[in-house]
Amino acid sequence: MSLIKSLSPRLANQIAAGEVVERPASVIKELVENALDAGARRIDIDVEEGGVKLIRVRDDGCGIEKEDLGLALARHATSKIITLDDLEAVATLGFRGEALASICSVSRLSLTSCYQGCSEGWCVTAEGRDLKPQLAPAAHTQGSTVEVRDLFYNTPARRKFLRSEKTEFAHIEEVVKRQALSRPGVAFNLRHNGRVIHQVRPVASENDERRRLMALLGQPFMEHAVRVEREGSGMVLSGWVAEPAFSRSQADLQYFFVNGRVIRDRLVAHAVRQAYQDVLYHGRHPAFVLYFEIDPSQVDVNVHPTKHEVRFREGRMVHNFLYGSLHRALADIRPENRSSAAQERATLEMATPALMPARLPDSAFGTQTALTLTDRPALSAASASSSFSPPPGTFSAPVADVQRTLEAYGQLYGRTESIAPPSGAAGEGAPPLGYALAQLHGIYILAQNQAGLILVDMHAAHERIVYERLKQSIGTHSVVRQPLLVPLSLAVSRSEMLQLEESDEFIQEYGLTLEPAGPETIVVRQVPALLARSNIERLVRDVLSDLMTHGRSSRIEERRNALLGTMACHGAVRANRQLTLPEMNVLLRDMEATERSGQCNHGRPTWVQLDMAALDKLFMRGR
């Protein structure tokens, strides 16, 4: 008797449903993606009892012809791909052709549709037990409506794994939020148990987009969001990144879309993490909504049943583009952005809303004090005294320029010309960080600008200034190598050896000289002079591991920056150092001219703005 048997279509679909239909939110994701692929401009979603009792998704897309309705519920039936060439350049959200079949195998499903140009609609129904579709005429405008009732009614074991109604609806709301973020031009309406939760209208301008994001992600995010627009090498990156001041305790406000598809990808996460590397406090997570456009043939979306993951054919190029774009966007933030952002928020609050959320999400978008970064690399003669002395032999020309830079900072703010605040300093034309008023306990600088009061942590601010100057000084020269007195021999795997051969030029640029000494052996002959005293074996293995995983390594740069950060901390003006008003103003001007000066290199904030409205509130003025 044969032990191998063909599975029945019903069982095969139920197994597939285990991959595609995890919970009610999974059903909504698949149905909304189908509606978007159909060209829908409006999508209405009705849910009852967290989606277990009823899920109804209605759209105004192109619809489905009568002859195709029954086939639409068949497994592996799709209109989106025909040949292998189509699969290698998928431009739609769905393409596997198994979603509807998997859903109807674990529910009672009805699909009603009216194809564009037709005067009548048709309805097809199917239940999980027999999967025999029944076709009947039905009244329907152009578009489609899918009703899913009694989810998992025939698979009670799966139903037991569902959470409470509130939890399941929270997952549904998150899915709808992602889809609404992915398509700004599409209206979304979400109702739960007959109650309107979200009514999101399509956008026609950037202000509309800001209001839509504010409704979906909360006002605090938009208060700290910075616009990103970058293009190059056939790739386009756009969207919004939050200032480092608006960081999160968990990665719950991160949305990345590739050609309109929401994805989670290690390469993308690594690039973002690197861009925020020395401006984000330890253990915190950045917030962003980013849209990445690339030739569909350069990205493989057929790597996961739920299509949440992708694989880029040129991973290193994508990583470098994302990292460079975000790194530059964060560096371009200026103090003056703070005042312009405040004006934009006031305009948004006064304008007629482009969307009408019935309620904002209940997520814990805690308000944070407004902090701002600055930009524009510039060297000045201002600095504080330094007693830091690097380890002997650490520097060799031209790396010794760093030591000379620190020594030049020994004179305390010798530049005092043209820094006295003019009359009416708080009025128009005042610098973004205003003019110094006093020093508080030898730690904080109090300054007045047009908006109100500025508080500056002088040590943290000056630490960033010194750190950026040290990086700039190092960056103007090629990496100085230091030969090892005794070359280090390391055993490596064949895959690591292949990676070394492919990335030898890149490794050389960062000061490492690695030579093959056998099929699975390499010899380390030179290392960056700044890292001569570090653990060389661990450094080399980490670099090779990063190159194999991400196509790029920043280990050398990270360790170099860690050393420069230590030097900057010692070179910055110390707490309890009494500064004169001219010296304080020099520090404020240097902050305005320094990249990322809103945070020290440990990620701590360097300055805080308290506007007049906040001060009036403290003293209950106007009540």
Give 85-144 as a DSSP string.
HHHTT--SS--SS-HHHHHHTTSEEEEEEE-TT-S-EEEEEEETTT---EEEEE---SEE
Q: Do domains 206-350 and 374-623 have the same CATH topology?
A: no
Pairing assessment for the beta strands 288-293 and 254-258 based on DSSP bridges? parallel
What pLDDT shows up at residue 477? Answer: 61
Cα angle at 227 between 226 and 229, to 5 degrees?
Answer: 145
Determine the Cα–Cα distance for residues 190 and 561; give it in Å rounded to an integer. 48
Mean pLDDT of the chain: 80
Which distant-in-sequence residues (6+ apart) come within 8 Å of 114 by Cβ?
63, 120, 121, 122, 140, 141, 142, 143, 144
What is residue 160's three-state secondary structure?
A: helix
Pairing assessment for the beta strands 121-127 and 108-114 based on DSSP bridges? antiparallel
Is the pLDDT reported for residue 343 higher than 90?
A: no
Domain segments of the chain as ranges: 9-198, 206-350, 374-623
Q: Cβ distance 418 to 380 under 8 Å?
A: no
Mean pLDDT confidence for 314-326: 92
Determine the Cα–Cα distance for residues 554 and 541; give it in Å rounded to an integer. 13
Q: Cβ distance 82 to 127 under 8 Å?
A: no
Percent of the chain with pLDDT over 70: 78
Cis bond before residue 377 (omega within 30° of 0): no
Between the alpha carbon of residue 622 and those of residues 478, 613, 614, 615, the distances in Å are 60, 10, 12, 11
Between 89-93, 127-131, 251-255, 577-581, the lowest mean confidence (pLDDT) is in 127-131
What is residue 452's three-state secondary structure?
A: strand
Determine the Cα–Cα distance for residues 434 and 382; give it in Å rounded to an integer. 18
Determine the Cα–Cα distance for residues 454 and 462; give it in Å rounded to an integer. 16
10 Å Cβ neighbour count for 295? 12
What pLDDT shows up at residue 308? Answer: 75
What pLDDT shows up at residue 375? Answer: 34
Q: Cβ distance 235 to 319 under 8 Å?
A: no
Count CA within 13 A, CB hemisphere, residue 444.
Answer: 13
Q: What are phi and psi of 604, to 5 degrees?
A: -80, 145
Helix axes 315-331, 266-275, angle to 10 degrees: 30
pLDDT tens, residue by residue, 387-412: 344 444 444 444 455 455 444 444 44
Mean pLDDT confidence for 323-331: 91
What pLDDT shows up at residue 536? Answer: 87
Determine the Cα–Cα distance for residues 140 and 248; give it in Å rounded to an integer. 45
Sign of the dihedral defined by the CA atoms of residues 24, 30, 34, 36, in that order:
positive
Is the pLDDT reported for residue 223 higher than 80?
A: yes
What pLDDT shows up at residue 412? Answer: 40
Is the pLDDT reported for residue 373 higher than 50?
A: no
What pLDDT shows up at residue 271? Answer: 92
CATH of region 206-350, choose from 3.40.50.2300, 3.30.200.20, 3.30.230.10, 3.40.50.300 = 3.30.230.10
Determine the CATH number of domain 374-623. 3.30.1540.20
Sign of the dihedral defined by the CA atoms of residues 585, 589, 594, 600, in that order:
positive
Between the alpha carbon of residue 173 and those of residues 145, 263, 323, 347, 533, the distances in Å are 19, 17, 30, 28, 52
Mean pLDDT confidence for 531-548: 82
What pLDDT shows up at residue 374? Answer: 34
Confidence class of residue 125 from pLDDT cuts 50, 70 and 90?
Answer: very high
pLDDT tens, residue by residue, 433-485: 999 999 999 899 999 998 899 999 999 999 888 888 877 766 656 667 889 99
What is residue 235's three-state secondary structure?
A: strand
What pLDDT shows up at residue 528? Answer: 80
144-183 CB burial, b ≥16 within 10 A, e <16: bbbbbbbbbebbeebeeebeebeebbbbbbebbbbbbbbb
Between 10-24, 212-226, 237-251, 409-423, the lowest mean confidence (pLDDT) is in 409-423
Determine the Cα–Cα distance for residues 161 and 447; give it in Å rounded to an integer. 58
Determine the Cα–Cα distance for residues 179 and 165; give it in Å rounded to an integer. 21
Q: Which helix (H) or strand (E) holds 53?
A: none
CATH of region 9-198, choose from 3.30.160.40, 1.20.1510.10, 3.40.50.620, 3.30.565.10 = 3.30.565.10
What pLDDT shows up at residue 363? Answer: 34
What pLDDT shows up at residue 571? Answer: 65
pLDDT tens, residue by residue, 561-596: 776 676 677 667 777 788 899 989 999 999 998 888
Between 31-35, 96-100, 320-324, 582-586, the lowest mean confidence (pLDDT) is in 96-100
Which distant-in-sequence residues (6+ apart) come within 8 Å of 364 by Cβ?
none
Between 103-107, 522-526, 547-551, 592-596, the lowest mean confidence (pLDDT) is in 547-551
Mean pLDDT confidence for 315-319: 90
What is residue 529's three-state secondary structure?
A: helix
Mean pLDDT confidence for 221-244: 92
Is the pLDDT reported for residue 30 higher than 50?
A: yes
pLDDT tens, residue by residue, 59-90: 999 999 998 888 888 877 878 777 777 777 77
What pLDDT shows up at residue 150? Answer: 93
Cα angle at 432 between 431 and 436, to 5 degrees?
Answer: 70
What pLDDT shows up at residue 32? Answer: 96
What is residue 241's three-state secondary structure?
A: strand
What pLDDT shows up at residue 277? Answer: 85
Confidence class of residue 283 from pLDDT cuts 50, 70 and 90?
Answer: confident
Q: What are phi and psi of 111, to 5 degrees?
A: -125, 115
Sign of the dihedral defined by the CA atoms of residues 263, 188, 14, 137, in that order:
negative
Which distant-in-sequence residues (6+ apart) come within 8 Å of 325 by Cβ?
228, 230, 237
Is the pLDDT reported for residue 612 higher than 50?
A: yes
Confidence class of residue 141 from pLDDT cuts 50, 70 and 90?
Answer: very high
Question: Which residue blocks in 512-580 are alpha helix, DSSP H?
Answer: 536-550, 555-571
Q: What are phi and psi of 261, to 5 degrees?
A: -105, 125
